[in-house]
Amino acid sequence: MTTPANVTATNMTTATENNTTAAPIAAPALTPNSTVEPLDTPVSRTGCGSQRLCGSTPEDCDPSTSDSDSCSFASFRQRNNPRDLDISISGESDGYIACTLSPDSTLGGNDETYVCANNNGTIEFIGAVLNNGQLTRRTLNVNSVRGSVTGRRIQCTFAATAPSSNTRAELFSFAISSGSFNNSNGDLGSPTPTFRSNVVDLTNPNATATNILAAGNTTTMSPNTTNHGITLRQSLTQAVLMTVGVLSLATL
């Protein structure tokens, strides 16, 4: 028996509708809220390499242990929105510790910086941008902030929307730094980096974040700071010393 043309059309339409897949619903954007709640669980290396990207100095140090007084640490894990990250930082300071994100290998071009300051034994979270070696306060898209102070050890966890860039949204270099904090007026001293990474995919737990700061050359970030944390004056001095050494060997 021949099927009427109008029935065939109806069946085809039904099949098309049943095979339609609904578009995924994007997670809501973060709402800025820098209120700090207590950090009950210490920042640690748990999940590094499997659930989150980590960078630290000394390499592979664990900020949760009692013998990690010199451990500078940061970790990143992607949230539901591609540009939203869970960030943890830990370090030793009498003032503040901070994490700066840069879309390239040069820090300081108004790069967004997340600051956790020791304000008389409690954490004060401060959003800022880094330019010409100085931090200027700015509201950043951050919430779910938790923090703790134990002696000189400062630890913070928070959710943040990564800065927009001209490259892939997840590619950044990052720096862990520390500096002074004036409890009276809230002034932030210039940051001194302890860890500075290559450009890396912050959403890839298996990526390698290498500390490009040379040993003994951890200097304050300034307009004359090169990509390896060595100032122009230091570079010229080293060049002169190398030249003198070569001339000395030539006379032997």
Task: Quote the pTM value.
Answer: 0.75
Domains and CATH numbers, the chain: 36-244 (2.60.40)
Per-residue pLDDT, 43: 97
Per-residue pLDDT, 207: 95
* Mean pLDDT of the chain, nearest integer: 80
**Which of these, 233, 238, 237, lies nearest to 220 by C-alpha position?**
233
- Whether pLDDT at 143 is above 50: yes
